[in-house]
Amino acid sequence: MSQTSPRPSRPWSAAFISASTPATGVEPAPYFRREFDVQEGLQRAVLHVTALGIVVPSINGTRVGDEVLEPGWTPYRDRLIVRSHDVTELLRAGENAFGAIVGEGWAVGRLGWEGERHFYADRPALFAELELVYADRTDVIATDSSFRVGSGAVGANGIYDGETFDARAHPSGWDSPGYDDAAWQQAQPLEWPLEALSAPVAPPIRRIEELSPVSVVARGGDRVIVDFGQNLSGWVRLTVTGEAGRTITVRHAELVTPAGDLETESNRTAEATDRYILAGTGEETWEPAFTFHGFRYVEIEGWPGEVDPDAVRAVVVHTDMRRTGWFETSNASINRLHQNTVWSMRDNFVGVPTDCPQRDERFGWTGDLNAFAPTGVFLYDVHRVLGSWLIDLSLEQERLGTVPQVVPNALRTGSSATALWGDVAVSLPWLLYQEYGDADLLRRAYPSMVAFMTEVEQALDEHGLWSSGFQYGDWLDPDAPADNPAGGKTDAHLVASAYLCKTSRELAQTAQVLGEQADAERYAALASRVRDAFRREYVTAAGRVTDESSTAYALAILFGILDDDQVAKAGERLSELVAKSGYTISTGFAGTPLIADALSDTGHLRDAYALLLQEKSPSFLYPVTMGATTIWERWDAVLPDGTINATGMTSLNHYALGAVADWLHRVVGGLERVEPGWQRIRVAPRPGGGLTWARAAHDTIRGRAEVAWRVVNGEMRVDVTVPAGATAEVHLPLHPDDLIVEVGEGTQSWTYPARDAEEALTMQTPIKDLMRHDEVWAAVLEELRRALPGIPIEAGLPHMADLPLTVVLDRMPGESEELRRGFERILGGASAEVAR
């Protein structure tokens, strides 16, 4: 069954239909049906279908389409997606039947941590038209009061809490002709604005992949814990034989306790529990259709006999996006970090780009997407799915007068313009234009972009600073109090004003692209004004930035706020701060996507690699050392003893902080877009961190772009593929002459002697550089503790981060010659390792 045209050219004939009474609580899903005649000579049949809730349509006992969780989640009163299917092959001359089950979904079920139900509608409802095309006419079967509505096997069916399916109650043949529906009720019309019905823009949600268990462990009684080896979004399919009435309960979670039991803390109030009640008719296979879960582990209870691993499968479910980006290196931990980022993106693109797939939230938080989008556009083709989401954003913005914190908006609390969150209205269209070269998308988004900036302009103080109103700041800074994730080190209004420097410039550039010259000049002037205001308030003449936080420096460096002669000083100070933190993460949502770039762009590449490779918490690789298979909401979401950090915000599947992958693609892999639509490419890998090879590949709108580099026995090989119609500026890494070449489409290779990527570690190496190498630094500290027992070594050394060990030795009390020999022994071995 192929998808066909999105809707008929004529006005709709159908009405929304429902059961006669509103849902008062958790209720069974309604089943709708109608029989109809098909005459001889049918040429074509098209079903247009949607619902308030989640719809599963069928014709003559066969499910229509392979989409799941349809029609997805949009602002339903303004935009409700109708999908269309060619169902000609499912029909036959004579009697036929159309059926549909409608679960409560996002429209009716509870949304958010406050447990509110009926956010959009007070009962599930169906809308469908079946067009029967003959040579001389078109007949239409449309939802109306001629439909019958009843109930069946699907009981509770909440997005958060799970689905209950009683196979004994399945009305066999209900969606085929000849079924006796006399006990069913007449469907009732439900008022709904038909102008909201819209053709799909994004690809549908589908079953994408299946995973087998990696272990099944008995936990006492008839309980087992099944580990699928990967945190994912979706559900479990069961194949089982047992007596009628037996209930199999499947509970989902991201983690198990150190004792091996299910850990449901990160689900919060989401029950995430599916129940299947056997019919007792032999082998039965079932999977839910009206819920989804975020999980790696499931606890199965009630299975008849021993659980056969082949009888249980995890079904991975998300928007059917095409993979477009790949990256790998010689370092297995970095590769796992990147794989975790890919999986978190997959798991959080279930229709809406969400924050997490497991708990009582799963909202389309604007800030999470804005932070992650540069990584997302590399990994997957998100042109349509994010183009669709931007339509929803503009609709919500128009209705509310501001960009809400989540899209679709499901929060009762008011919103106002916010940096990094609300300004996704500007930055995301601009990014999508850069990636896909789609000026039409930019044009469609332009009114929303302008409306956001108008709201912000009205909030500026007399100096041009965004100095008032709520801001998220550097959300989830690791140093923020557990009960105040917005309370990080960096002033929230500094963050806001810095992001405004970026977005005002992006809007000026957008206006220029669209030929809106007056607007281009206006927003360029605004960008200049807010930059001057930021510099006057937050930057010294020498280039120091108030707050003295890594995030503040990263924003000032990367958003073009500093003058050229100030950037070096800011980079040095940022390097010092990163060293002082022991190369652990000290940034949140605002700073983490930028910190590695701010270091490498200012000549501190080694610091960036040290930050990347740190394994102590909080760090990029600490979750990897703890067995993470997705990106965590907090770096310390799981503590070293394996227990969860019970702060109420410890999702183990949050893509935002995986935004460092953008730096991996561009700087480590060396593949960067420099003109819209990848017309011009910059190839500039920057080896470091002991890596001996890396590869980055991206399927652009012009074709495959790829870079691979490898160092073997002091010889560098670089392979570059440029897609058709593009040119590339290739900066050959570690080339003795720092060679830069221009190349056109096709594949080219270079081989040459490699310059040393890193200097050897010596007694003249500053302490901050030694701290990048965990094993070396641990050995230095151990030597100091041996020589100076009882002295708090760690307390004093960070204040001497810029000093070499020779100076430190001169300041030590008493005889230091033995200590010197110990250091030289450590550094001699380390130097050989660095050289390799």
* pLDDT the model gives residue 2: 42
Q: Which of 633, 706, 758, 783 is catalytic?
A: 633
pLDDT at 408 over 80: yes
Cα–Cα distance measured from residue 154 to residue 167, given in angstroms and rounded to the nearest whole number: 8
pLDDT tens profile 490-539: 999 999 999 999 999 999 999 999 999 999 999 999 999 999 999 999 99
Cα–Cα distance measured from residue 613 to residue 664, given in angstroms and rounded to the nearest whole number: 12
pLDDT at 220 over 90: no
Strand, helix or coil for residue 813: coil
At 486, the pLDDT band (50, 70, 90 cuts) reads very high
Q: b/e per residue, 643-679, with b = 16+ CB within 10 A?
A: ebbeeebbbbbbbbbbbbbbbbbbbbbbbbbeebbbb
| Cross-strand pairs, 205 | 319
Mean pLDDT computed over 108-133: 95
Cα–Cα distance measured from residue 282 to residue 300, given in angstroms and rounded to the nearest whole number: 20
Q: Which amino acid is at 38?
A: V
Angle at 798 between CA 793 and CA 804, to 5 degrees: 90
Mean pLDDT computed over 46-69: 98
State the architecture of 206-319 in CATH terms.
Sandwich (2.60)
* pLDDT the model gives residue 816: 67
Angle at 332 between CA 326 and CA 338, to 5 degrees: 35
Q: Report, in this order, helix, strand and coil percent for the chain, each rounded to 5.
A: 30, 25, 45
At 574, the pLDDT band (50, 70, 90 cuts) reads very high
Query: Please, are residues 381 and 439 in contact by the beta-carbon 8 Å criterion?
Result: no
Strand, helix or coil for residue 605: helix
At 787, the pLDDT band (50, 70, 90 cuts) reads confident
Instruction: Kindly report the CATH class assigned to 671-753.
Output: mainly beta
pLDDT tens profile 322-373: 999 999 999 999 999 999 999 999 999 999 999 999 999 999 999 999 999 9
* pLDDT the model gives residue 4: 46
Question: Which spans in 80-201 are helix H?
Answer: 105-108
Q: Which tokens belong to 587?
A: 């940034």
* pLDDT the model gives residue 834: 47
pLDDT tens profile 687-705: 999 999 999 999 999 999 9
325-473+481-668 against 671-753: fold identical: no
Tokens 């105040």 sit at which residue? 484
pLDDT at 550 over 50: yes
* pLDDT the model gives residue 832: 42
**Residue boundaries of the structural domains of the chain:** 16-200, 206-319, 325-473+481-668, 671-753, 767-835
| Cross-strand pairs, 528 | none
* pLDDT the model gives residue 712: 93
More confident residue, 6 or 308: 308
Radius of gyration of the chain (CA): 29
Burial class (CB in 10 A: 0-12, 13-18, 19+), 117: middle
pLDDT tens profile 375-404: 999 999 999 999 999 999 999 999 999 999
Instruction: Kindly report the CATH class assigned to 325-473+481-668.
Output: mainly alpha
Nearest Cα residue to 265 out of 787, 648, 550, 750: 648
Question: Is beta strand 273-277 parallel, antiparallel or unpaired with respect to 162-166?
Answer: parallel
Cα–Cα distance measured from residue 320 to residue 323, given in angstroms and rounded to the nearest whole number: 9
* pLDDT the model gives residue 795: 62
**pLDDT over 90 for what percent of the chain?**
86
Nearest Cα residue to 419 out of 392, 386, 455: 455
Mean pLDDT computed over 287-303: 98
Backbone angles phi, psi at 302, to 5 degrees: 95, 5
249: enclosing H helix or E strand? strand 247-253
Strand, helix or coil for residue 429: helix
Q: Catalytic site residue 361?
A: yes
Q: Which of 361, 435, 506, 672 is catalytic?
A: 361
Query: Please, are residues 385 and 324 in contact by the beta-carbon 8 Å criterion?
Result: no
- Asked if the bond preceding 408 is cis, omega within 30° of 0, the reply is yes
Q: Catalytic site residue 633?
A: yes
- What is 263-317 written as a DSSP string? E-GGGTT---EEEEE---SSSEEE--SS--EEEEEEEEE--SSSPPGGGEEEEEE
pLDDT at 653 over 60: yes
Q: Which CATH superfamily is domain 16-200 in?
A: Galactose-binding domain-like (2.60.120.260)
Mean pLDDT computed over 554-582: 95
pLDDT tens profile 37-55: 999 999 999 999 999 999 9
Average pLDDT of every residue of the chain:
93
Q: Which tokens belong to 386?
A: 């994010």
Question: Is beta strand 223-240 parallel, antiparallel or unpaired with respect to 293-301?
Answer: antiparallel
- Note the residue count of the chain: 836
Q: Which tokens belong to 222?
A: 């008839």
How many C-beta neighbours within 10 Å does residue 451 have? 18
Residue 662: partners with Cβ closer than 8 Å, 6 or more residues away: 374, 375, 378, 593
* pLDDT the model gives residue 797: 63
Nearest Cα residue to 420 out of 432, 405, 435: 405
Tokens 């109608």 sit at which residue? 34
Nearest Cα residue to 371 out of 682, 594, 700, 562: 594
Q: End-to-end distance of the chain based on CA atoms, in angstroms?
A: 57
pLDDT at 18 over 90: yes
Q: Which tokens belong to 194?
A: 């038909």
- What is 171-187 written as a DSSP string? -TTTTSTT---TTSEEP
Question: Left (φ > 0), alpha (ψ -120 to 50) or beta: where does 41 sit?
Answer: left
